[in-house]
Amino acid sequence: MMDAVELLQRLVELESPTGDGERMGHIGRFIAAELEALGARIERRDPHLIARLGPDDGPPLVLMAHMDTVWPAGTLPAMPFHVKDGYAWGPGALDMKAGIVTGLEALRRLGEQPRPVHFLVTADEEIGSPTGRPLVEELSAGARAALVLEPPVKDGTITTTRSGLARYQLHIRGRAAHAGNGARAGVSAVDELAHQIIAVHGMADPAAGIRTNVGQVGGGTGDNVVAGEAWARIDARAWTVEGQRTLESSIRGLRPRLDGAAIEITGGVTRPPMMQTAGAAELVRSAIAIARDTGIDLAENASPGGSDGNFAAAVGTPVIDGLGPTGSGAHAVDERVSLESLGERISLLSALLVAL
Ligand SMILES: [Zn+2]
C-alpha cells in the first residue's frame, strides 16, 4: 500500500493548474481511483469530483479539498518534489495536495465508514471557485458539518473564522490633452487615481479587521499626454457581513476630486465571511475535546484569507477549516509541508470522523 509521502509525491507530480482540463482529468482520475479503492461511490461533475462513503442515511460529514494549484504546467523541473529536513517540497505540496492526502489516509485508516462521509474535491478554488461554489453549497446544505482540509494559519490550530473577500475595479475617465499645454489643459485621470488610491487605503481599519489593498493600477497613453483614462484593482476584506456591507458602500461611494473626472466602480463580494455561529462554536468545542483525547492540543484561529469554507458556512453549515497539515511558502517557490504535521493531521481527522 502506498504510504502518505508516496501518495503526496504522486499528487504533486500530477501537475494541476486551474483551468487545464486535460491535467485536471488526470489527477481527478487518480484521486477517484484511490477513493474507489476505499469503497467510495464516485460521481464526476467535471472537472470536480464527489465521493460518497458509508451508509446513505442521515446528514453526512463533508470533507472538502481542491486539486487545482496556482502553479503553471512545467513548474516541476525547477521545483521537483523532494523530502528534506522533515518537509516535503514541491508545487502545491502544502496548498493543498497534502490536504487531499490527509483526507485519503484518514479514510483508509478507518476502513469501513459507520456514518455517511462525502468527500468533495474541487478544481477551481484558486480562482475563486466559479464552478466549484455551487457544489460546495449543494453538498454543505444539510450536512452535519463541513471539514475543510486547507492548511492552518499556524501549527496546532484549526481555522474557525475567515474574512469575507471582495474585488473591485475602479475605472477613471479624465480628458486627454497635450502635456506641453500643462496638466491643466486636460483632466488627468492619473492624478485622480492618486487621490482615489489614498482614499481606498484610508478605509482600512486593521483593528476592526477591515483591510483594503489597491494591488494593480494602470493609466495613460504616453509620457507627453495628460492621461485620459486610468484604472485600479482593489482587494477588500472584512470579518463580518456588516463590515463587508460598510466597506462596499464606502467603495461605491467614491467620488471624483477633480472637476471633469468620472469614476466607475464594478465588482463586488467574491466570498462571504466564514463567521462563528452557535452551531459552529459547538462543533469546534467537540473537535477540540476529541483532539485532546487523541493527545493533540488544538487552538482556534482566524484567517484573513478565504477558502471554500466561506461558501459552506454561508449556507448555515458549521465549518471547521484549516484541518490540513502546516508548512510554509504557499504560492511561493519554497512551498513545503511538514511531514510530522501530516502524520498528526491524519490522526486528528481519523478521530474527528469517528467521534464528531
Ligand atoms: Zn488552498
Query: Do the beta carbons of residue 21 and residue 41 sit within 8 Å?
Result: no
Distance between Cα 282 and ligand 1 center (Å): 25
pLDDT digits (tens, 9 = 90+) for 179-194: 888 657 899 999 999 9
Residue 11: pLDDT over 90:
yes
CA 30 to chain centre: 23
pLDDT digits (tens, 9 = 90+) for 321-353: 999 999 999 889 999 999 999 999 999 999 999
pLDDT digits (tens, 9 = 90+) for 45-57: 999 999 999 998 8
Distance between Cα 128 and ligand 1 center (Å): 10
Sorted by where each starts, the structural domains of the chain and their CATH numbers stand as 4-162+273-355 (3.40.630.10), 164-271 (3.30.70.360)
Distance between Cα 305 and ligand 1 center (Å): 10
pTM: 0.90
Distance between Cα 38 and ligand 1 center (Å): 24
Distance between Cα 290 and ligand 1 center (Å): 25
pLDDT digits (tens, 9 = 90+) for 271-308: 999 998 999 999 999 999 999 999 999 999 999 999 99
Q: Can you tell me the distance from the alpha carbon of 17 to that of 1, in angstroms, rounded to the nearest whole number?
A: 28
| pLDDT at residue 185, as a whole number | 82
pLDDT digits (tens, 9 = 90+) for 104-118: 999 999 988 889 999
